[in-house]
Amino acid sequence: MEITKETIEKHGLTLDEYKNIQNLLKRAPNLLELGIFSAMWNEHCSYKSSRLHLKKLPTLGKQVIQGPGENAGIIDIGDEDAIVFKIESHNHPSYLEPYQGAATGVGGILRDVFTMGARPIALLNSIHFGSTSHPKTKRLLNGVVSGIGGYGNCIGVPTVAGETKFHETYNENILVNAMAVGHVKKNKIFYSKAKGLNKSVVYVGSKTGRDGIHGASMASAEFNEKAEEKKPTVQVGDPFTEKLLLEACLELMKDDSIISIQDMGAAGLTSSSVEMASKGSLGIELDLDKVPCREENMTPYEMMLSESQERMLIILEDGKEKYAKKIFEKWDLDFVVIGKTTNSKNLTLKFNKKVEGEIPIDALASKAPIYNRKWIRKKLSNKRIKIKELKKIKIEDAFIKLISSPNFSNKNWITNQYDQMVMCDTVQKSGSDAAIIRVHNNNEKGIAVSVDSSANYSKSHPLTGGKQIVCENWRNLISVGARPLAITNCLNFGNPENNEVMGEFVESLEGIKEACEFLNFPVVSGNVSFYNGTNKKNIFPTPVIGGVGLINKLSNSLNHSLKNENSIILLIGKTFGHLGQSCFLKENYSIFDGDPPEVNLMNEKNNGEIILKLINKNLVLSAHDISSGGLIIALSEMVNSSKLGIKIERTNKLSNIIEYFFGEDQGRYIVEIDPNNLNKVIKLLKNNNIYYENIGFTQKKYFEIENQIKIDINDLYKINNQWYNNY
């Protein structure tokens, strides 16, 4: 087949990139080779617009065993235990086919974790939809939630935490980010680097079909009015087969048979073979006649670019083929030796006893394009929102508007579709600041996990937004009594060829870098998702942070449910009443203006450290960080998760009541204290120069804010549940 301009463009390549391919090959590629270059050089696989900037992120620390560059990151949690985790996007597929897009997103991230030798112990998600009034939102929401629950529930991994948000910026481009966490012993970690010559390259798992062809390329392009035509590029998942694959791989990993292992994710057989060979500076020869296919007359092009799910590529030690085959056949899975490692440093593809493709590995990997795209820095507006200039509103009306809105309504309708308790190690499920998972066979030690995003802050000022979202994740882990250890990130942005979008990406990374360095909270894995937009309209920049923290003593862990009547409520951290980009303005005045709240990293660190110290000394009954919606929303969440009310008063009556309760100042916590421990707590706070306010106490029946709000806690719960119940 002749390679035309149209053919090149259909493969998502530019004419300049095609010329580069010709130079690297010293000839014109055939169609198979062009397809392989298309898969490996697209944004999703090559990170050609982001690699230059991703290198700036802090990835090292004494707790880090493996940083970015492998299937997932790994951190040391002591006692020879390690935690493996990563977050990835499946945005485009989920918009086109919400159930399968979300389901295969879960399946893919699980494979990234168990490929490293870890048993998956938890799933999390960050999902963003358009306006609730948009005609597509309800269908997309139901499909995505069903897909997440369907896959996770069937494979038997608990979905323990996440977030669901709505904003019109996602009307035509939803975000579906899936995170998986696994546990492994440090001496049983596996990697993808190929080693040795003439080693067997083995295909295991499901058969190859025609689903998902060009899926990675599709994820590296903007949508337009013809988006529906791309549905055939969406993969189809089978969680029951993945369960078999998981158990077979973990069984084989008990032995010393595996040299390297890689899941067939984006770009399928192409990316898995290239990545293994590239890391090991070797070549790989594949006999495509041996690839197990579930459809007739599949071509080499289709085999290499298929993204059929539940497949792995393994390189075995000599003489281990029979032993390994017996394990996979026991689990009713395909096991076929389809190739070998070579010293050619080429990807060699044979079919019908002919060489159909021959490409240098480095041409597909290390010599893939790297772009230093132009970008624009965004300045702070320095615009102060003046509450006196706004139409007067009753504080109770403003509060009810917030807690009954889609973004703040109780999300039990969603989380109840997820099995959160399977495996029996879930100590604290969704609903608090972070979920808690017991380290298996250890009644003392656990990990906390949380996932967070804040698109409006990042849109207003990406640098501040990047810092803020790292700090919010830090606070969420702290609030349950965990020492924050490391993060994974999923960076969702629009078209990087747009200077403004590229600026949002670069500055968000700068903010993430600054916060992670200051807090000793390194980035160990992640994903970049560009081209999120339709018809040249880009989404708001939406960096998503997934964090993991360590709890050495589970009996010290907390949630945000109020515990006792007549407890003291302390506010930790200063309140300045910042309303720029606040939920109060958006919900009550439709104002999307102002700068995001300032992030003071020193305060974040000091306040977090003292909260953790108080928790470990058993001086705190419950704790909650303050984020979107401000102090009043955080207080209502504590009440709604318990059977108790509160009575709250400002200590400084000169501060504006709206700004005080709805301002979204950062670095703040609410803690519930037993009156008998109050003096001990205050002494510790003063000795560490921590700002605090005694703002009230718990009570039986009412949610009371000064003389402005008095709502029965049962009515408060009903108000908080009404939107989802009626949607």
Is 183 annotated as catalytic? no
CA-closest candidate to residue 390, choices 586, 108, 120, 669: 586
Q: DSSP letter at 126?
A: E
CA-closest candidate to residue 696, choices 627, 614, 639: 639
SS (H, E, C) 491-549: EECCCCCCHHHHHHHHHHHHHHHHHHHHHCCCEEEEEEECCCEECCEECCCEEEEEEEE
CA-closest candidate to residue 361, choices 380, 344, 374: 344
Report the DSSP beta bridge partners of residue 83. 75, 183
With a CB cutoff of 8 Å and minimum separation 6, the contacts of 26 are: none
Say which amino acid occupies 511.
G
Name the phi and psi angles at 274, rounded to 5: -65, -45
Give dist(CA 392, CA 106) in Å, integer: 46
* 455 conformational bin, left if phi > 0, alpha if psi -120 to 50, beta if neither: alpha
Give dist(CA 584, CA 590) in Å, integer: 9
First-to-last CA distance in the chain? 52
Strand 483-492 versus strand 523-529 pairing type = parallel
CA distances to 79, 106, 122, 239, 438 from 424, rounded to whole Å, are: 21, 20, 11, 20, 9
* Residues 495/538, Cβ–Cβ less than 8 Å: yes
CA distances to 609, 623, 682 from 673, rounded to whole Å, are: 17, 9, 10
Strand 702-705 versus strand 645-648 pairing type = parallel
Give dist(CA 659, CA 647) in Å, integer: 18
CA 458 to centroid of chain Cα atoms? 16
Say which amino acid occupies 655.
S
Sign of the dihedral defined by the CA atoms of residues 724, 152, 164, 494, in that order: negative
Give dist(CA 236, CA 518) in Å, integer: 42
From 44, 128, 560, 578, active-site residue: 44
Residue 569: strand, helix, or coil: strand
Name the phi and psi angles at 556, rounded to 5: -90, -5
Report the DSSP beta bridge partners of residue 694. 570
Give dist(CA 323, CA 332) in Å, integer: 15
User: Helices 499-519 & 601-616, crossing angle to 10 degrees?
Assistant: 40
Which alpha helices (DSSP H) does 115-229 contain, by range?
Answer: 137-155, 215-218
Residue 281: strand, helix, or coil: coil
Place of tokens 């002494």: 683
Strand 159-166 versus strand 119-129 pairing type = parallel
Q: DSSP letter at 434?
A: S
Is 44 annotated as catalytic? yes
Tokens of 309: 């799910």
Name the phi and psi angles at 529, rounded to 5: -120, 105
Give dist(CA 269, CA 48) in Å, integer: 21
From 90, 167, 183, 578, active-site residue: 90
CA-closest candidate to residue 79, choices 180, 191, 190, 184: 184
Active site residues: 44, 90
